[in-house]
Amino acid sequence: MSLADQLRSLGLRHVGARIDDIIDQATKKRWSPAQLLEHIVDQETQDRSRRSVERRLNRSRVGRFKPMSDFDWTWPKRIDRAAVEAALGLDFIKQARNVVLVAPQGLGKSMIAKNIAHNAVMAGHSVLFISAAQLLLDLAAQDSARALERRLRHYSRPALLVCDEIGYLSYDNRNADLLFQVVSRRYENKSIVLTTNLAFSAWPSVFPNATCAVALIDRVVHHADIIAIEGDSYRKRDAEADVKSRRKRPAP
């Protein structure tokens, strides 16, 4: 077995793939044995850290998103920038608090939520980003109590759960109970970020016949930073600007 294969068998995959280059570099620079070992440890540590971030990003399902540097803070009629930046700083995760972003469609609440999720991944936290519809569809599809318990544990496990777009659909009692179970299992233990287009007073319309709606809201807001954003849709503004731009173009 070659030296490279032996290193890979020991779990030193990065060093094993580059051992010839490392030896050449050590020879040219006349490193001592201690310097060579320090370099090997440093390279392997950096690679493992990189792969760990990649795994967490992949598992988080954050997907593509615009960075906060692209956020137009001047457009909303009302936004608490300090509260948003505090959420991006992630202190709420250490305190097992929640963050609720309340805004009409098209004002960037999902963008902010994805940036919070990304920051949490980069800080070393396990994260899962999922829409409310996907979460409830997954839970409702479980065909046994044991299977449902496994999925509930799955959603209880991450340090941060981001549940996007509550309020766009109405749910029956079964779905309300499932969401209540997820929230209850994380209550005062792990953080949730929720985005919704509805004020809490309108949440009973999302779960019209659910007896647990009040208890659900109570557990969400008990330890929560609620950030309300008001204004007109970014997407509507951009679409109108695009129409105006096309009208101004000279005819060919």
Which pLDDT does position 246 carry in this prediction? 62
Q: CB under 8 Å to 174, separation ≥6 — which residues?
A: 140
Structure tokens at 81: 């920038």
* Domain-wise residue ranges, the chain: 3-60, 68-236
* Band of residue 241 on the pLDDT scale cut at 50, 70, 90: low
| Residues 133-176: tens digit of each pLDDT | 999 999 999 999 999 999 999 999 999 999 999 988 778 888 88
10 Å CB burial of residue 198 (0-12, 13-18, 19+) is middle
CATH assignment of 68-236, given 3.40.50.2000, 3.40.50.720, 3.40.50.300, 2.40.40.20?
3.40.50.300
Name the more confident of 218 and 240.
218
| Residues 212-228: tens digit of each pLDDT | 878 888 999 999 999 99
Structure tokens at 150: 């496994």
| Residues 95-108: tens digit of each pLDDT | 999 999 999 999 99
H helical segments located in 61-108: 81-88, 91-94
pTM of the model: 0.84
| Residues 41-56: tens digit of each pLDDT | 999 899 888 888 899 9
The number of beta carbons lying within 10 Å of the beta carbon of residue 39 is: 16
Instruction: Please state which of the ranges 24-33, 187-196, 243-252 shows the lowest mean pLDDT.
Output: 243-252
Cα 22 to the center of its chain, rounded Å: 37
Helix (H) or strand (E) holding 193: strand 191-196
Which pLDDT does position 248 carry in this prediction? 63
Residue with tokens 């006349």: 30
Average pLDDT of span 3-11: 88
Angle at 51 between CA 46 and CA 54, to 5 degrees: 130
Q: Could you tell me the strand order of the sheet in which 191-196 lies?
A: 127-131, 160-166, 191-196, 98-102, 224-228
